[in-house]
Chain A
Amino acid sequence: VAVGDAVPWQVVDHYENPRNVGSLDRKAKNVGTGLVGAPACGDVMKLQVEVDENGKIIDARFKTFGCGSAIASSSLATEWVKGKTVDEALKIKNTDIAKELCLPPVKLHCSMLAEDAIKAALADYKLKQDPNKEESEKKA
C-alpha cells in the first residue's frame, strides 16, 4: 500500500465492526433479495430487506465477499435503508455512500455496487408483492 493510499477510518470501522451481517428468509413474501456482482473485480454482494405492511423497511442484512470498500458500502447501505420506505430507499445514491465513507476515486465503483444491490433487493420485493401485475406489464 503506497503512502497516501490510507484506508479511510470509516471503511476500517465497517470492516472490523460490520453491521447487519447475515441473511433473512428469502422465501418470505415480505423479504426482498438483491444479489449483484462486479465482473471487473469479482466482488459479490447480497443485500436483503424485510418490509412491513406499511411499506417500511424494518430489517436489512448483507453478505459481501470482496474488498473492504465493498463490504463497508453494503454495511452502510443496510444501516441506511432501515426505517425508510421502499420509495425513500430507492433514492439512496452511490455518491452519498461514497461521501459518507470517504471512498477514494478508485473505489467509487464499490458504492455503485451497493446502490445496485439496494435497487435489486427492492425490485425483488416489489415483484413478490404483485407478480401478476409484473406479468401483465411484461405482456403489454
Chain B
Amino acid sequence: FCPGCRALQPPGPRPDLFRLMDCDRSFRVDAQQLQRRFRSLQRAVHPDRFGQRPPKEQYYSEQHSSLINKAYQTLLNPLSRGLYLLELHGVKPAQETDCDGDSVFLTEIMEINEKLAEPKNEDIFEEIETLIKVKQEELTKEVTAAFERDDLQEAKKLLAKMKYFANLEDKLKNKKIPS
C-alpha cells in the first residue's frame, strides 16, 4: 500500500514467496504460522474488499490475492516447497529429457502402480494409501536433512522420488472419486 494515499500498489516483480509469507528461506516451515499469515494477507488484499476502489486497485488486488494463493500452496506442500527452494538456490530442476535408471526404486513404483491399476482390489486401496503416505513422510524427513546439511544435489534426487509418489497419490485420489 502507498504510505501517502493508502492506495494499493501492484506486487513487485519476481517476488520471493518465502519473504511474502514471512517465512525463513528454509525447508522447515511452521504450517500453522503459514496459514495464519495466509489468512491475514488475504484479509488485507482480497478483491472482495476492493469493490469500491478504482479499477486499477481492483486489478492489483486480484494480482496480490492470486500471488498469495500461489505462495501458500507452494510452501505448504513439501514437494513444491523443496523444488522452489532448489530454484532459489540456482539448482536446475529435473529436465524433461532426464532419464532415471534406478531399477530398484522404479520397480517399487511400477509395482504400486500395477496394484492400483487392478480393477478388483478396492480394499487394497487403503493399504496402498498408507504405504504412499509412509513413503512420502520418510522422503520428506530425508529432504529436510539434505537441505539442513546443504546437500542440494541429494535434495534434488529425493524430490524426484517424491514426484513419483505424488503422482501415485493423485491417481489414488482419482480412483476414490466415484465416476
A interface list, Cβ under 8 A from B: 35-44, 46, 63, 65-66, 109, 112-113, 116, 120
Contacts and interface: CB of A to CB of B under 8 A. Distances in A.
Contacts of B114: 63
A35 B94 contact: no
Contacts of A40: 93-96, 98, 163
A70 B135 CA distance: 25
Contacts of A44: 106, 109-110, 113, 164
B106 A37 contact: yes
Contacts of B94: 39-40
B101 A36 contact: yes
Contacts of B99: 36-38, 112-113, 116
Interface in B137-179: 160, 163-164, 166-167, 171
A41 B103 contact: no
A112 B163 contact: no
8 smallest beta-carbon distances between A and B, as pairs: A37-B100, A39-B160, A109-B96, A39-B94, A42-B167, A65-B113, A42-B163, A40-B94
A84 B81 CA distance: 46
A38 B113 contact: no
B166 A41 contact: no
A42 B166 contact: yes
Could you tell me the dominant secondary structure of chain B's interface residues? Answer: helix
B163 A35 contact: no
B102 interface: yes
A112 B96 CA distance: 9
B77 interface: no
18 contacts: A35-B106, A35-B107, A36-B100, A37-B101, A37-B164, A38-B98, A38-B100, A39-B98, A39-B100, A40-B95, A40-B98, A42-B164, A44-B109, A44-B164, A65-B110, A65-B117, A65-B167, A113-B99
B97 interface: yes
Contacts of A39: 94, 98, 100, 160, 163
A126 to B, nearest CB: 16
A41 B113 contact: no
A35 B107 CA distance: 8
Given A42-B167, A44-B164, A37 B97 contact: no
A139 to B, nearest CB: 22
